[in-house]
Amino acid sequence: MMQKIAKVFLVSIILLISCQSISFAENQAADYYRSLLQSGRFYLRYTYKPCDDKGKFIKVPIIGDFETKRYIYAYDGVRTGTDDWDGRFAGNTKKYAKPFRYMNGNYYFIGGYKEKKDAMSLLPGLNTAGKNYKMLKAIMMTAEDFATFDINKADVKNKNIKWVKGLNSAHEALPLPEELSVFYADPLANNKYHVEMPQYVESSEKTIKGKNYTCDRYITVCTDDAGNLIDEIAYDLLYLDGNLAMSRKYSVQNGEIMKSECKYEEISDKVTRADAGNTLPIAVYRIGGDDMAALLNGQNEVFVEVIDATEAEDAKR
């Protein structure tokens, strides 16, 4: 079976490189992005647009718009992020409006506030002046539980389900765009199938909406657990004035059909540990296993700890 996959892979490369005038050297900026993402310290701001089976842009599920803006902060194993599709976090993305987090092998969904009396009992000495008395609330799930968690299988309705839905959204908000796997095998990638490390095959020039891009193409194969070929995928990384400006994902197994597009507003090392945290302390409650059943049945969660108290104090200075 693997020989069949390798043959399909090779034929695809031959077809790709015979289509047009091309070169065989990555853009010079590729090494910068590869080094940046692999360093574990980066800030990423981009917009994401999905496509239908015919390669036409469609509205993002739930959001109801054709694109969603995402922010990701990564700093030494801590990753936080948000989907800013309706502007509710505009101008505030480096403060406390970052609901999704991965840290120390756990996933978090952060949202809502603890009441003043509850905040004081959990964190004695918390500044009660003005808004600083507030404490955020978060639910936490281990990576092991999170890997098999599917909100769509939860056949319940109660006040706690919104928290579980929020945690489930971390599947989309925290991983890097799939196209950036050409630079970095993201440990938080949300792949339904096995995807091989993409291989660079060609560079060319492309014009999109009147702008001339330098395009690096990478190709990979997608297989199921048994090693059967699911699809062949091409990633186009498009550079403008030496900077990565856009990427597109294509299915190329049967023709070429665009699957999604990302536009990059910023990819930089302008991130600190404080950026990856919040400026309000957070009360964390664990769910998963028996705790998950308790939550879905409307019972109280299990309190674990308060995090980001140090970042909150630093922000007030």
Q: Which of 92, 37, 91, 44 is nearest to 70 (CA)?
A: 44
Mean residue pLDDT across the chain: 79
| Percentage of the chain exceeding pLDDT 90 | 41
Amino acid code (one letter) for 28: Q
For residue 148, which phi and psi values (nearest 5 degrees)? -110, 5
* CA pair distance 125, 259, nearest whole angstrom: 51
Cβ(202)–Cβ(192) below 8 Å: no
| Contact (Cβ atoms closer than 8 angstroms) between residue 89 and residue 97 | yes
pLDDT in tens, 145-161: 887 776 665 555 555 66
**pLDDT tens-place string over residues 149-193:** 766 655 555 556 667 777 777 888 899 999 999 999 999 998 778
Q: How confident is the model at residue 63 (pLDDT cuts 50, 70, 90)?
A: low
The CA dihedral of 85, 86, 91, 96, to the nearest 10 degrees, is -80
Q: In this structure, are strands 68-75 and 41-50 parallel, antiparallel, or unpaired?
A: antiparallel
Residue-wise pLDDT for 103-113, tens only, equals 999 999 887 66
Q: How far is CA 243 from the centre of its chain?
A: 21
Stretch 53-64: mean pLDDT:
75
What is the rounded CA–CA span in Å between residue 79 and residue 101?
Answer: 6
In this predicted structure, what is the pLDDT of residue 308?
80
Whether pTM exceeds 0.75:
yes
